[in-house]
Amino acid sequence: MTDGIAGKVVVITGASSGLGEATARRLARDGARLVLGARRLERLQALAEELALDGDAAVQTDVTRFEQVQHLVDRAVQLHGRIDVIVNNAGLMPHSPLERGKVQDWERMIDVNLKGVLYGIAAALPHMKARRSGHIINVSSVAGHKVRPGSAVYAATKTAVRVISEGLRQEVKPYDIRTTVISPGAVQSELPGSITEPDVAEGIRSFYESTAIPAGSFANMVAFAMSQPDDVDINEILFRPTRQEI
């Protein structure tokens, strides 16, 4: 499943760990040309060196700052002359009941999970429109399909990603740009570590330990969507561990 991947210029946000790192490893193996963004530059540079990426392919990026996301995309264009795919992956999941009023957590989720995706679209889309070619992959969640107690704001951001992705799909049809939104269930990542409430964190940690599947499962979904012929547009992928009920 490497057709449609080899040689493509791919930008990945949140690439220093978890789903983003696994995707970078998979796509590098399949011959993609990667430019990676994340806040933790040291980890990002180590990954880029390990994958033998082109120089300056690791770009310190806070997706809550549009100018930094723009710089990340511009780096890909400077290095390779274009951007073929952007994977808007960076995300946080600080669950808590609304009654606890974790306003700062809410704001962080909105800034990273929602605005970060919008900034990725805004930075990549002009380049893709000019070439009448490209693929925008946004990361939602099972929580974007099913809200549970304690996950209201997180679920709201991930539902919004699905809505934005569908609107984007319709708007970019004249430019032959493909769009995919991927909604994973429990997949091994650092997301549980972003939870600030100790009791909630313990419950999620236990759930992930018993249920989560490797991050490579997400990378496989990205590769599947990318590897389709140009006239096939995989718009939405929803997947869970086999043992995950909700």
Task: Please tell me the pTM assigned to this model.
Answer: 0.95
- Residue 32: which of 72, 70, 74, 87 has the closest Cα? 87
The whole domain housing 58 covers: 9-238
Query: For position 122, what pLDDT does the model report?
Result: 98
205 in a domain, yes or no? yes
The C-alpha R_g of the chain, in whole angstroms, comes to 17
Query: For position 227, what pLDDT does the model report?
Result: 97
d(CA 140, CA 24): 18
1 in a domain, yes or no? no
How confident is the model over 94-111, as a mean pLDDT? 95
Q: If 0-12 CB within 10 Å is exposed, 13-18 middle and 19+ buried, where does residue 7 land?
A: exposed
CB-CB contact of 2 with 224 (8 Å): no
39 in a domain, yes or no? yes
pLDDT(88) > 60: yes
Confidence of residue 64 (pLDDT cuts 50, 70, 90): very high
Q: How many CA atoms lie within 13 A of 5 on its CB side?
A: 23
4 in a domain, yes or no? no
Q: How many domains does the chain have?
A: 1
CB-CB contact of 182 with 237 (8 Å): yes
pLDDT(55) > 90: no
58 in a domain, yes or no? yes
How confident is the model over 85-90, as a mean pLDDT? 97
List, by residue number, the catalytic residues. Answer: 154
Query: For position 2, what pLDDT does the model report?
Result: 57
**DSSP 8-state class, residue 187:** B
Query: For position 220, what pLDDT does the model report?
Result: 97
- Residues 149-207 have pLDDT tens digits of 999 999 999 999 999 999 999 999 999 999 999 999 999 887 788 888 888 889 888 88
Structure tokens at 62: 């806070």
2 in a domain, yes or no? no
224 in a domain, yes or no? yes
Structure tokens at 111: 């800034």
- Residue 177 corresponds to which amino acid? I
Average pLDDT over the chain reads 95
Domain at 166, CATH number: 3.40.50.720
- Residues 203-214 have pLDDT tens digits of 888 888 899 999
243 in a domain, yes or no? no
